[in-house]
Chains A and B, each alone.
Chain A
Amino acid sequence: MQWEVVIGLEIHTQLATQSKIFSGSATTFGSEPNTQASLIDLGMPGVLPVLNQEAVRMACMFGLAIDAEIGEHNVFARKNYFYPDLPKGYQISQMELPIVGKGYLDIALEDGTVKRIGITRAHLEEDAGKSLHEDFSGATGIDLNRAGTPLLEIVSEPEMRSAKEAVAYVKAIHALVRYLGICDGNMAEGSLRCDCNVSIRPKGQVEFGTRCEIKNVNSFRFIERAINTEVQRQIELIEDGGRVIQETRLYDPNKDETRSMRSKEEANDYRYFPDPDLLPVVIEPAFLESIRATLPELPPQKRERFQSEFNLSAYDANVLASSREQADYFEAVVAVCGDAKLAANWVMVELGSLLNELGLEIDQAPVSAANLGGMLKRILDNTINGKIAKVVFEKMAAGEGDADQVIEANGLKQVTDSGAIEKVLDDVLKANAEQVEQYRAADEAKRGKMFGFFVGQAMKASKGKANPAQVNQLLKSKLEG
């Protein structure tokens, strides 16, 4: 049987506000337990919530970025359930009238094609605290520092058809919220968390299969593995004559398996109703327009512009636009050197592998965009060649100054004086008289490889500084002449 995989995602992004969504507590990660839990966050008797304007603004930014309708009149509701990390016994969320309505996000797939993923809605809510299960006298410890951190829950349509597509979508959301500056995207700290709804159906069938929800998968790699593992489980289950039951599951990366969550076993009846402590939030058109004016250029537009303005391939444009920091870096390099293709190659290949090696993000790059651009300018004006450039780049990365300083200090300037090059060539030919004879006697087919030998010797003799094009041209005339 051919199976089709159906995936929908719920992504919880912690908004990068200073204070919590309904209280004036700080949202800093990693503080001592319960030191950022105010009366409101603790759900003390008699306390009341007041909504943080910045959380509303950030949600609107997201809505505008995915071309969604923003609810002019939206309402907070209480989701009632008992859990020790939920101090009030209800979570303030949105149910019927979310702030962000239907929108979409275009994601670039590995084959260079673009797929549009529908976004059903995005709503504001408060995060819960954390339960710590290490042994506290055999008990569970509750830290409410995180309780009340603003979350934007982004719900997709079930439109992804593979784990890879799902990852591409999460990466696109990740890039988008970071572009917008509304979430730091730190998945290790839980700033962006993903619930994956996974089902399978026979290819060609219209109705969806029964889905399972894998809770809280917190890295791109685990999302892919968790979905694949779950898909495999469902296929095996069905092919063995069983059936999938709708349930919440947890992914265990150590065992690479998903398992049913005991704490969520019970069918929940959340008894949603409008929170009587909060009034409807009215988003005035003028407020929305003021936000629209502050929106940065977003990945899809950037991708398109990189292709049209710089003539980059879809693949290169996509890689460079994947994060705001990388795109900004790239554009700064182009601004200095003027050659987008060359800049793209250097940013993606040389800088990329250096960062990879050092385990750094692009905003921590040891070579500034200005310095890289300056160096590329020296390639373009023939001051150095591509090979020497790698040496210059390494020295810049080691903090030895900008390109011109490195070139000057190390005498790396390319030799373009034909007299000087001719002298080097004459010495090479003289020292290799035997090979010269053999070359001249050889037929055309063999000469190609032998020619490379002389180029190599010449470059070596010039310590790499000879202009390779000139070496080629002069060598040819000398050998054949």
Chain B
Amino acid sequence: MHQLTLAEIARGLADKSFSSEELTRTLLARIHQLDPQLNSFISVTEELALSQARAADARRANGEAGALLGAPIAHKDLFCTQGIRTSCGSKMLDNFKAPYDATVVAKLAEAGMVTLGKTNMDEFAMGSANESSHYGPVKNPWNLEHVPGGSSGGSAAAVAARLLPASTGTDTGGSIRQPAALTNLTGLKPTYGRVSRWGMIAYASSLDQGGPLARTAEDCALLLQGMAGFDAKDSTCIDEPVGDYSANLNASLQGLRIGLPKEYFGAGLDPRIADLVQASVRELEKLGAVVKEISLPNMQHAIPAYYVIAPAEASSNLSRFDGVRYGYRCENPKDLTDLYKRSRGEGFGAEVQRRIMVGAYALSAGYYDAYYLQAQKIRRLIKNDFMAAFNDVDVILGPTTPNPAWKIGAKNNDPIAAYLEDVYTITANLAGLPGLSMPAGFVEGLPVGVQLLAPYFQEGRLLNVAHRYQQVTDWHTRAPNGF
């Protein structure tokens, strides 16, 4: 039963092949059995899951239907869940039982989804390897010595290991797409403002976006359908109608114009990954797509700009963690400054502290123009590049990451090395565009992902391309040994 995709589960529940409670018990048992190897969950919410499963079965018995009714889900542990620890992978929030539900959590619960637990992540979503979690690193089910990517590494590893069919993640610089690529999943970062950020603990507010991780594009469509939509509680959420993401999955790709940015295939890209990307392009050409080389000339500036904007916003977003109203408070503070400095110094890990300091510095008197403002201008240049490219092509295709998953600890001594792994994903966050990563092969037994980018609100198009690709390839169906 654990091999089923979300779409298959929906059919199985609908034709009463199994109940939600049976499915939930099976998956909970599997999590208990296998997750100790992976460390993909921070909390397993067994009681909640069983009561939600029974409620879903009752709703179905009452004649209710719905693709997500009774289907299992796990949330990245930065989505607030009422009464349940929401840790953000940090000692700072180890004792934090959120007093409310995030909109995404509430919407999926409303649709009848069953929450199996909260998944491990890089502390405050700052990382690309899931090594900065207070709860320890997550292991990649494809090779337990390797990282699963980050920051939604727990969400990715759990789904890749067939502990459950789908999970939620968030993507600030690639944190859905990169772990999806490194664990052989399909992951989608929607257009900025498509999914509500209410209750999603902020890393960098103008870049963060929640989205689905699953094994297939079809499942991502189902899950995104439940997550997307306008929310009056989020000023940055866009009031645009949500399309039917499943309706056009099978649309023809005849004449689809795919742009390959020449900047994506330069130095730094593992040539074996370049080959796999070219192979995926050939598959899409067979389906009728036409390929065109394009240029995104400002792409090289994306990482520097990102590492100003994201830390600057983070330094301010994380000021609320002060040991006064919730979260970690140091022992016996001798005065107010001591309360702040020790609570924050002891509650935050090293990478979080580094980014807070970079951000505070970039915003401080005398440096604002040279750093923050300059980064915002580069942000516009990057957006302009995309707008120009989308005049000529419908989607942009390239590698999701320059390298496959690295060994746990390999980049520990050099934070910059890990930052560079985000080179292909970061631009979509800066421009607010939707992006998807899909499985495209293996290098030395480790998965490789291909990234697709589309104009604003064209998540449907991304899912359509990925789904058609998955109809003619089988990379996405491969499971890691032992799972």
Contact = CB atoms under 8 A, between A and B. Distances in A.
Interface of A: 39, 42-51, 78, 80, 82, 84, 87-90, 142, 269, 271-273, 276-279
Contact of A48 (B93, B235, B315, B316): B235
A279 B200 contact: no
Interface string B94-105: 001011101000
Most-contacted residue by chain B among A82, A88, A142, A279 (CB, 10 A): A82
Contact of A78 (B80, B233, B316, B368): B316
A84 B336 contact: yes
B202 A46 contact: yes
B459 interface: no
A11 B360 CA distance: 29
Given A49-B235, A271-B365, 8 more contacts: A39-B100, A46-B199, A47-B198, A48-B233, A78-B316, A87-B324, A89-B320, A273-B372
3 pairs of A and B residues whose beta carbons are closest in the complex = A89-B319, A271-B363, A276-B205
Contacts of A45: 80, 86, 88, 93, 96, 98, 201-202, 320-321, 326
Nearest to B200: A46
A420 B285 CA distance: 121
Nearest to A43: B320
A317 B326 CA distance: 56
27 contacts: A43-B325, A44-B99, A44-B325, A44-B326, A45-B88, A45-B320, A46-B79, A46-B198, A46-B200, A46-B201, A47-B198, A48-B198, A48-B235, A48-B236, A49-B235, A50-B233, A84-B322, A87-B324, A90-B316, A269-B364, A271-B315, A271-B316, A271-B364, A276-B205, A276-B236, A277-B205, A279-B235
A89 B340 CA distance: 11
Contacts of A50: 232-235
A46 B102 contact: yes
Nearest to A45: B201
From DSSP, what is the main secondary structure of chain B's interface residues? loop
> Which of B96, B325, B340: most chain A CB closer than 10 A?
B325
Nearest to B318: A89
A269 B100 CA distance: 34
A50 B233 CA distance: 7
A278 B364 CA distance: 21
B372 A84 contact: no
Contacts of A277: 202, 205, 235-236
A88 to B, nearest CB: 5
Contacts, number: 100
Nearest to A39: B100
B21 interface: no
A390 B102 CA distance: 69
B234 A48 contact: yes
A273 B100 contact: no
Nearest to A34: B325
Given A78-B316, A88-B319, A273-B372, A142 B324 contact: yes
A191 to B, nearest CB: 26
Contacts of B234: 48, 50
A43 to B, nearest CB: 4
A273 B312 CA distance: 9
Nearest to A23: B233
Interface string B325-349: 1100000000010001000000000
Interface in B344-396: 360, 363-365, 368, 372
A271 B235 contact: no
A47 B86 CA distance: 14
A78 B315 CA distance: 11
B363 A80 contact: yes
Contact of B235 (A46, A273, A278): A278
A89 B205 CA distance: 16
B208 to A, nearest CB: 9
B162 interface: no
B84 to A, nearest CB: 13
B143 interface: no
Contacts of A279: 235-236
B397 to A, nearest CB: 30
Given A44-B99, A84-B324, A273 B363 contact: yes
B204 A276 contact: yes
Contacts of B78: 46
A89 B99 CA distance: 20
Max chain B CB contacts within 10 Å: which of A39, A45, A269? A45
Contacts of B461: none
Contact of A39 (B86, B99, B321, B340): B99
B246 interface: no
B206 A276 contact: yes
A89 B102 CA distance: 22
Nearest to A263: B336
B37 to A, nearest CB: 30
Interface in B198-253: 198-202, 204-206, 232-236
A277 B208 CA distance: 11
Nearest to A88: B320
Nearest to B101: A46
Contacts of B96: 45
Contacts of A89: 316, 319-320, 322
B98 to A, nearest CB: 7
Contacts of B202: 45-46, 277
A312 to B, nearest CB: 50
B146 interface: no
A285 to B, nearest CB: 23
Contacts of B88: 45
B445 to A, nearest CB: 38
B421 interface: no
B260 to A, nearest CB: 32
Nearest to B80: A46
Contacts of A49: 235
B60 interface: no
Interface string B294-326: 000000000000000000110110011110111
Contacts of A43: 320, 325
A271 B314 CA distance: 13
A87 B325 contact: yes
A51 B235 contact: yes
A367 to B, nearest CB: 50
Contacts of B93: 45
B197 interface: yes
Contacts of A51: 235
A369 to B, nearest CB: 45
A90 B319 contact: yes
B86 A271 contact: no
B42 to A, nearest CB: 15
Contacts of B320: 43-45, 87-89
B235 A80 contact: no
A44 B324 CA distance: 11
Contacts of B205: 276-277
Interface in B58-86: 78-80, 86
Contacts of A90: 316, 319
A88 B201 CA distance: 13
B201 A80 contact: no
A142 B325 CA distance: 10
Nearest to A42: B325
B100 A44 contact: yes
Contacts of A269: 364-365
A326 B136 CA distance: 70
B197 A48 contact: yes
Given A45-B86, A142-B324, A271 B360 contact: yes
A87 B325 CA distance: 8
A279 B100 CA distance: 25
Contacts of B80: 45-46
Looking at A39, A42, A47, A48, the one whose CB has the most chain B CB atoms below 10 A away is A48
Contacts of A272: 363, 368
